[in-house]
Chain A
Amino acid sequence: MSGPVPISTPVMDPRLAPPFPKAALPILQNTQLRKNVAHATDVIQAKRNRLVAEKKDWQELRTSASAIRAHVLANLATYLEQFETNCTAAGGVVHWASNAAEARRIIIDILREENATEVIKIKTMTSAEIQLNPALEAAGIAAIETDLAELILQLGHDEPSHIVVPALHVNRHQVREIFARQMGLPQLPNDPEALTAAARTYLRRKFLSVPTAISGANFLIAETGSVAIVESEGNGRMCLTLPRTLITLAGIEKVLPRFADLEVMLQVLARSATGERLNPYNSLWSGVVSGDGPQRFHVVLLDNGRSEILARKVERQTLQCIRCAACLNTCPVYRQTGGHAYGSPYAGPIGAILTPQLERMRHAQSLPYASSLCGACYEVCPVKINIPEVLIDLRAQVVDQERVDSARWTDPMYLGMKAANFAFASASRFRMAQWFGRLGLRFFTGKDGWIRKLPSLGSRWTLSRDLPALPDQTFRQWWAERESKPKTGADK
């Protein structure tokens, strides 16, 4: 039942990861992993739905949250400068990193100056995005993940598969195996309470002894230069309070205009992310506070492709994201594959639009296709990111990239699309195409009313799907007939 995890180490670097359909295949055959993912997403979704339903002003909160984030993006330079001024005045040091390599260099330079050999870390997506841990290791600095899920993954040499609960694909038996082996606790039982207690003991020593910490940021407050972190376990509070030096790595889009804007963001984030009215701990601090917490504080503001996303009209909304992962939990694709198939720390629908853009459309081009465009993600998004709209736009970009103009008249896809374009452009041509299509499909329809195998290009569709036979009447025919019939009282 337990079995070792992972079966093969997933590749989470979009530059090296296989395309989504290829990466998803072995996962779809891993029934244990699928069971774990289904269970976890079911539980979070049920909690989320219950708590959203009890909130009478949910749609108004969403509208405000979306508007605040869009407003920030429209005025991003102003708010970032304001944040920088106020954070600096409060005793923080603000750094700017154009790309991942620069961010890694800045962080490693600070740690070297501190003579750090170890650093404690709060779960941060941006750190995974810039592949910080391998760089720290190469620099001789041991990174210690302190979030329970991240610790499970680090000790198990596994990779995160969810933005909020990164180890949701691992069950208690697997966690027990990992902890028993790595912490030298052969007698460890497999109930979550004992496992959590083992992590508490294991990490307590680290919290009390390691003098440097790295965090991400949920929000940067322009008005005060403060940083806000949202968490459940208290490992965040430990890392933010105990060390001498704290480095916060934050995407440039994370800023909010004012402290009071948290009244909206905290409410929508907690309900969407973990299905709680509020998560157990929120921490907010401004620069360095004498006598309380780290006395050296650095913020690294990371661009890494974000300013280019900002420049694109449809895609800009991607940057409104507050990383709640509600779109993952509701996505029919993610719920089957889990996160590893996305080949990036950002999985699910938001990952499908964010990752290729962060890679400037040079990698991860299969991700915009990892969706059925059902729109469930858009419906649950607390900041109203129209993910399907962005997916379609990115697909168009991928098609444009792949099109080789000189060869297009021999490309069956191009010819097919051209023909479809021609047929759909006029009602009479559409009718004719329908007539021909019905005639043609009749040859491939089985006696039981199903189409199981199509020739040529169509075979790619029927490889994994069956089609029902076309009905005797088209909708247009049915409609015309209905309109011509005399109206009876019952129709009204």
Chain B
Amino acid sequence: MNSRQQILDRIRTATSGDRSRYEDLPRGYIHAGALENEARIQLMTERLREYGAEVVECAASDLPATISPQLRDSGRHRFIVPDGVPHEWLAEDFTWLRDQNLIYDEIEQCAGVMTAASAGVADSGTIILHHGPAEGRRIISLLPDFHLCILRASQIVETMPEYFARFPNPPRLATFISGPSATADIEMTRIKGVHGPRFLSVIIVRDDA
């Protein structure tokens, strides 16, 4: 008998007679948030800033004009973008590389990356990427040192359960980002930036107004 069968048999013997239904599991925790729209965006902004992220807001029509100064303030020039990012996001005066299967070295040589996102969770200040066409492959938001993320206000929910309720069809890939890469491995001193981007900048687009 192979190991698979042996293990499954042992498990079945150990659990024979156990009855436990998924539908009966207690779910008494908070599902929906209680904050008004403005307060929710405010909370998201506060949480992101606690992590040391830059946050600015802009109207949908002002997005291209907002991207430019954010990039300039970062002091970087060469940026990578996923292939699905709209053309009007690509501010002039910067070098843009569209990710069409760039090799590692090309990505590594970019100082920054700009992507869209799939969701934001205000309670924990989390940005969630499902790595669709405007969010890009996982690697492009990992190697560069600076990440500018464009998040729409309508994508921001208050609680973690609200995010899961919004996506009943699970994504094949997901990355949850709660502040820049960090470690506290040496004497519990929090150090920003170990391997992922050390700098996170977020533009919240007020498409909800």
Interface residues of A, Cβ cutoff 8 Å to B: 36, 39-40, 43-44, 56-57, 60-61, 63-64, 67-68, 70-71, 73-77, 80-81, 90, 96-98, 102, 146-149, 152, 165, 167-168, 170-172, 175, 192-193, 195-196, 199-200, 203-204, 207-208, 221, 223-224, 226, 232-235, 237-238, 240-242, 252, 257-260, 262-264, 266-267, 270, 274, 276-286, 289, 291-293, 301, 303, 307-308, 310-311
Contact = CB atoms under 8 A, between A and B. Distances in A.
Contacts of A68: 25
Query: Per DSSP, are chain A's interface residues mostly helix, strand or loop, or mixed?
Result: helix
A70 B25 CA distance: 10
Interface of B: 2-4, 6-8, 10-15, 18-22, 25-30, 47, 51, 101, 104-105, 108, 121, 123-126, 131, 137-139, 142, 160-161, 163-165, 170-189, 191, 193-196
Given A74-B20, A165-B188, A234 B3 contact: no
Contacts of A63: 26, 28
B123 A67 contact: no
Nearest to A302: B7
- Return the 9 tightest CB-CB contacts between A and B, nearest first: A234-B196, A234-B195, A311-B14, A259-B170, A307-B10, A282-B176, A233-B194, A74-B18, A60-B28
Given A73-B15, A168-B188, A224-B170, A308 B10 contact: yes
A282 B171 CA distance: 14
A71 B179 CA distance: 33
Contact of B170 (A70, A221, A266, A281): A221
A203 B193 CA distance: 13
B76 to A, nearest CB: 18
B15 A77 contact: yes
Contact of B138 (A152, A267, A282, A292): A292
User: Which of the listed residues B26, B165, B174, B186 has the most CB atoms from chain A within 10 Å of its own CB?
Assistant: B186
22 contacts: A40-B187, A57-B29, A71-B25, A74-B20, A76-B15, A172-B187, A172-B189, A192-B187, A203-B195, A204-B195, A208-B104, A224-B172, A232-B182, A232-B183, A233-B185, A237-B175, A277-B123, A277-B124, A280-B179, A280-B196, A282-B176, A286-B173
A291 B177 CA distance: 21
Given A233-B183, A293-B138, A263 B161 contact: yes
Given A277-B47, A293-B137, 6 more contacts: A40-B188, A63-B26, A200-B193, A258-B22, A281-B175, A293-B173
Given A172-B187, A237-B175, A307 B124 contact: no
A57 B30 contact: yes
A195 B193 CA distance: 12
Contact of A280 (B28, B172, B182): B182
A291 B138 CA distance: 10
B195 A286 contact: no
Contacts of B161: 260, 263
B126 A278 contact: yes
Given A77-B8, A98-B3, A307-B10, A278 B172 contact: no
A237 B124 contact: no
A75 B185 contact: no
